[in-house]
Amino acid sequence: DVKVTQSSRYLVKRTGEKVFLECVQDMDHENMFWYRQDPGLGLRLIYFSYDVKMKEKGDIPEGYSVSREKKERFSLILESASTNQTSMYLCASSSAGTGPLFFGSGTQLSVL
Amino acid sequence: AQTVTQSQPEMSVQEAETVTLSCTYDTSESNYYLFWYKQPPSRQMILVIRQEAYKQQNATENRFSVNFQKAAKSFSLKISDSQLGDTAMYFCAFMFEGYDMRFGAGTRLTVKP
């Protein structure tokens, strides 16, 4: 079975903290993604990566950065967490081309 | 830019009945892919069905089928014989290139016993 694993299901952080969200996939997929999910807005792309050490900005990259040092791992970093970054974060991966995305089970982040 | 619109924020259906979820999209591309994803309370996004735009035949997966109208840019999902386990958020998604998937805002479906 394909598997995308997100390190935390729930996370509570304080304003100004540096936050790391980790994602690992075991499908040898080239592409990896970070989405943010908010009610009424659907899923919005933050960053994606199509290869190791490669990254591209999505629609809402401000306040976020990413790291992909190994093919199977894609990290989302909040350099200085703010309350407006309280949200559900979903990681996904896909094979090169137009394959469907496979998702992790999400991290609900609360920034207080 | 491609956009996806789901005009029904919430819907409900009686168990065993049929329900149709609407989705429209906007694109100038001719070759693309469309998806329906389901997100139950567990939050796990599950691929329900996929449609290639160059295929005229509507995709089906067991009780799930789509009505793909390319000229109208419409991609609705029909769920037949609804079951309680179908209760979930449903997202319509559009993909042109392999790294640019766009999602609608979602439709919350409740199946009532």
pLDDT (tens digit, 0 to 9) for every residue of chain A, 112 residues total?
669 999 899 999 999 999 999 999 999 999 999 999 998 889 999 999 999 989 999 999 999 999 999 999 999 999 999 999 999 999 999 987 777 899 999 999 999 9
- Does residue B62 contact residue B86 with C-beta atoms inside 8 Å? no
DSSP annotation of A2 reads -
The model's pLDDT over B52-101, given as tens digits with 9 standing for 90+, comes to: 988 888 999 999 999 999 999 999 999 999 999 999 999 999 998 767 88
Kindly tell me if the per-residue pLDDT of B31 is higher than 70: yes
B99 closest CA partner among A29, A63, A5: A29
Q: Which of A9, A30, A31, A43 to mutate to test the interface with B (most CBs of B within 10 A)?
A: A43
Residue the block writes with tokens 């976020």: A64
The residue to which tokens 């979903």 are assigned: A90
| Contact residues, chain A, for B45 at CB < 8 Å | 90, 92, 101, 103
**With an 8 Å Cβ cutoff, is B64 touching chain A?**
no
Interface contact flag, A98 B33, Cβ < 8 Å: yes
Residues of chain A whose beta carbon is less than 8 angstroms from a beta carbon of chain B are 31, 33, 35, 40-45, 48, 50, 56, 88, 90, 92, 94, 96-103, 105-106
Cα gap B84→B59, rounded to integer Å: 23
